[in-house]
Structure 1
Amino acid sequence: MTGITIDRKRLYYVGNLSIFMIGLGFAVRANIASNLQAEIYDKIDLANSAAMLGEALGATFTGFALTLLFGSALVDLIGMKRMLLLSALGYIAGAFGLLAASMMDVGATVETLVLVSLLLTGLGWGAVEAASNPMVAALYPEEKTHRLNILHAWWPAGIVVGGLLGVAISGFGLSWKLNMLVLMVPAVALVWLVASSTFPVTERVAAGVSYGDMFLELLRRPMFWVFWGCMYLTAAAELAPGQWVNISLSNIVGMQGILLLVYVSALMFVGRHFAGPIVARISSVGLMFVSCLAAGIGLYLLSMASSPSLAFAAATVWGLGVCWMWPTMLAIVAERYPRGGAMAMGLMGFAGGMSIQFVLPMMGSIFDSAKAEAAGGADKLATLAPDALQEAIRYASVESFQSVAIVPLLLLPVFGVIWLFDRRNGGQQAEVKTSSNTNAD
């Protein structure tokens, strides 16, 4: 459809709200993770409750990854508007499901309902990324890295708001179930805004690139798959520790880990607004090199922190490391492979989501194994005195964080080589495939 004026500013606000909603969801899951473990999974299987919780949280990332895989290929057909409406409905339905599960007797039905509810929020998360990322790339083709970083600054903003509300709910002695009602508010607002807006088509459609050419673009460009593989590791360094932080750091340094997540998220919100000037100096790949180095060091320091002050210092290093990872990886493929359309960006998100699906249960298994090792065997966990059990859990928390500290460091030679190659060839220039912004779905 042509001849329809697109309100670029309004749509950017829609994108910001959608990313804020999924950030809020991330904080809500971190807020309620310990409650789910204590009230559901500990009662089902105390020795393996952390692994079970990791699998449940991982279902969110499975839904996220699957929606990105298929939704990114379909967004050109069903439109950004319908995709964003589906995302909001996923969050509303998922929040209702978790509320229902919290009111039922613990058993197999509750376990299944929690999994389905978290999966629905994951599907909603993926639908946001499938629509909002290509939307912003189409609206601002001349400054993708900068605009995508600002867009994704609303992810940590959502975490800050959700985290602080979670702390307030806990501090006032209110039911943890109120976190689910918090999650519904931006979802309902998003339904209204999206329903009353007109959306553009993706860059790929605007440039007249066919579906076949889109897939060929990705198949014949092997470097795209190098970046795709890198996304597995950058996502693991950023998102898995963030989802695990409330459980682990509460045990390591004796503070509410969600407060640390709020602090890191505030750093990210500010930092992402400066991505444009940084990239102008060192390039997007150079930024990823520096980010991976800081993230690896920060994760290791987090595992060694023995007090709240040291934890905040280590979190500053980690937070600055992971600050630009997700949006910059998306921007790299949007700049280098615009003919890959929404599919290219969706495949990157799929890699990130599947990474967490594997890493979260792995962290949970490491946690459980270390906990059993410290106790002298899984069968002795239930017989430990409270102080001894707390020490075993603290040891397990340290081990689970150290296990992912190596992940971002593995990418240093990859990004280093690409960065040097780009510099020798005059720097990477973004490919821009645009047409008028008057196309609508």
Structure 2
Amino acid sequence: MTTTSKPNYKKTLRACYLGFITQAIAANFAPLIFLKLHNDYQIPLGMIALIPTAFFFTQLIVDVFCAKFVDRIGYRASIVASEIFSAVGLVALAFLPELLPSAFAGIMISVVLYAIGSGLIEVLCSPIVEACPFENKEKTMSLLHSFYCWGWLGVTVISSLLFTAFGIDNWKYVACFWALIPLYNIYNFATCPIEKLVDSGKGMTILQLFKSPLFWVAVVLMVCSGASELSMAQWASAFVESGLGLSKTVCDLAGPCLFAVTMGICRVFYGKFGDKVELTKFMIGSGLLCLICYIMASLSHNAVVALAGCVLCGFSVGIMWPGTLSISSKKIPTGGTAMFALLAMAGDLGGSIGPSAVGMISQKAGDNLQQGLFFGGIFPVLLVVFLIILKFMKESESEKN
């Protein structure tokens, strides 16, 4: 009598945890060495500023690519490729600037490589976990996304410690050190069980998704989620520096790191206790708290209160992105890879629009960052409005699809 062992989906979950940590490394390592790249290779700061632009633009292209082609290529091949691109890109960052005639070209090639990996991770890890037979998908999704926060915190703190201990001149070794995580995770994704989210040929097409009102509500929610999160996160260091007058190193740790910690705490909290709280209500409460945080940061004349608003904002936005994905998957069960890819693209779009809008408003207000952040409060307001709209939309929409 032969017994077949059950698939070990916990291994799949661990691989996706490391996938999100890899994405956090890809998104947050290069900004730590911007000034070093500027000084070592004599690259103007205006060109250095193109690095995050290239990173997020590449992710947007990957999102569109995934919506169209990932189902044909297959989840396993695509997610393994994500780790390969991430590892190669990080290692290339250490060597290509020296090997190519143009150091900037070497940097940009490296950024595009690991941005491809990051984009694939962003699109694929959520549906891979969603397809696993876990009991409470919403809790699992929230906990999964918390690993981006811990990766963000880890790459910032550990890299800073390594730079302090061995000197920032050794940043190339640190880049190669971080490449070990995606290299190890290649094996995990190559061997873990991966299920299909939707049977072949049964997933909705992009055109079918575009015809669904529920999908467009989800798109708006994702844009607002990305904008609410990154409008504060990307300006946190500058805001703390201008408001409290601390050194840039301390501000990098006090602003973005504490933001990442509180965002991770929110995701872990819902991952542990989500079965006791209805997700839409929790997200509406989070949106209202986010608005309060933006008001605290933008209107308070007390620097400590403003900093508290900035840090607490991390907790308020924690559930927005994974919560929207969970709601969308539940209400549009045949959305498939195309839906996850297009929603990721909407989140990235919001993450680009939000910080840019805050920056432009601040500039028009005489470089007053608090004025810019006050405008940023519009994104959690819109999120709450569309969550209320979603609650009143007919449940039969998902059945019709």
Q: What TM-score comes out, normalization by structure 1 length?
A: 0.76
- What residue in structure 1 maps to residue 227 of structure 2? 236
Judged with a 3 Å threshold, the aligned counterparts in structure 2 of structure 1 residues 30 and 214 are, in CA distance, closer, same or farther, namely: same
Secondary structure at the residue paired with 1:407? Answer: helix
Residues in 1 aligned to 2:371 and 2:241: alpha-carbon distance in whole angstroms: 14
1:123-147 deviations in Å (ceiling 9; x for gaps): 1111112221111111036522111
Secondary structure at the residue paired with 1:227? Answer: helix
- How large is the Cα RMSD of the aligned pairs? 3.4
The AA in structure 2 aligned to 1:17 is L
- What residue in structure 1 maps to residue 129 of structure 2? 136
- What residue in structure 2 maps to residue 301 of structure 1? 296
- What residue in structure 2 maps to residue 17 of structure 1? 18
Determine whether 1:315 maps to 2:310. yes
Residues in 1 aligned to 2:255 and 2:97: alpha-carbon distance in whole angstroms: 26
Query: 1:304 Cα deviation (Å)?
Result: 5.9
- What residue in structure 1 maps to residue 149 of structure 2? 156
More divergent stretch after superposition (153-162 vs 64-73): 64-73
Judged with a 3 Å threshold, the aligned counterparts in structure 2 of structure 1 residues 249 and 39 are, in CA distance, closer, same or farther, namely: farther
Residues in 1 aligned to 2:358 and 2:36: alpha-carbon distance in whole angstroms: 18
Query: 1:187 Cα deviation (Å)?
Result: 1.1
Query: 1:407 Cα deviation (Å)?
Result: 2.3
The AA in structure 2 aligned to 1:127 is L
> 8 Å contact 1:138–1:200 — kept in the other structure?
yes
The AA in structure 2 aligned to 1:185 is L
Secondary structure at the residue paired with 2:74? Answer: helix
> 8 Å contact 1:144–1:334 — kept in the other structure?
no
Query: 1:197 Cα deviation (Å)?
Result: 3.0
Judged with a 3 Å threshold, the aligned counterparts in structure 2 of structure 1 residues 359 and 267 are, in CA distance, closer, same or farther, namely: closer
Secondary structure at the residue paired with 1:338? Answer: coil
More divergent stretch after superposition (30-39 vs 342-351): 30-39
Determine whether 1:341 maps to 2:332. no
Aligned match of 1:410 in 367, 379, 382? 382
Judged with a 3 Å threshold, the aligned counterparts in structure 2 of structure 1 residues 142 and 337 are, in CA distance, closer, same or farther, namely: farther
Residues in 2 aligned to 1:402 and 1:33: alpha-carbon distance in whole angstroms: 28
Secondary structure at the residue paired with 2:29? Answer: helix
- What residue in structure 1 maps to residue 119 of structure 2? 126
Query: 1:336 Cα deviation (Å)?
Result: 0.8
How many pairs are equivalent? Answer: 390
> 8 Å contact 1:6–1:200 — kept in the other structure?
no
Secondary structure at the residue paired with 2:167? Answer: coil
Structure 2 unaligned spans of 5+: none
Secondary structure at the residue paired with 2:90? Answer: helix
Determine whether 1:175 maps to 2:168. yes
Instruction: Give percent identity, aligned residues only.
Output: 18
Aligned match of 1:80 in 29, 52, 75? 75
Residues in 2 aligned to 1:34 and 1:236: alpha-carbon distance in whole angstroms: 26
The AA in structure 1 aligned to 2:143 is I
Determine whether 1:44 maps to 2:35. no
Q: What TM-score comes out, normalization by structure 2 length?
A: 0.83
Secondary structure at the residue paired with 1:232? Answer: helix
- What residue in structure 2 maps to residue 292 of structure 1? 287
The AA in structure 2 aligned to 1:92 is A
1:193-235 deviations in Å (ceiling 9; x for gaps): 2233342222x11xx5435x44464244212112112211210
Secondary structure at the residue paired with 1:356? Answer: helix
The AA in structure 2 aligned to 1:228 is V
Judged with a 3 Å threshold, the aligned counterparts in structure 2 of structure 1 residues 141 and 224 are, in CA distance, closer, same or farther, namely: farther
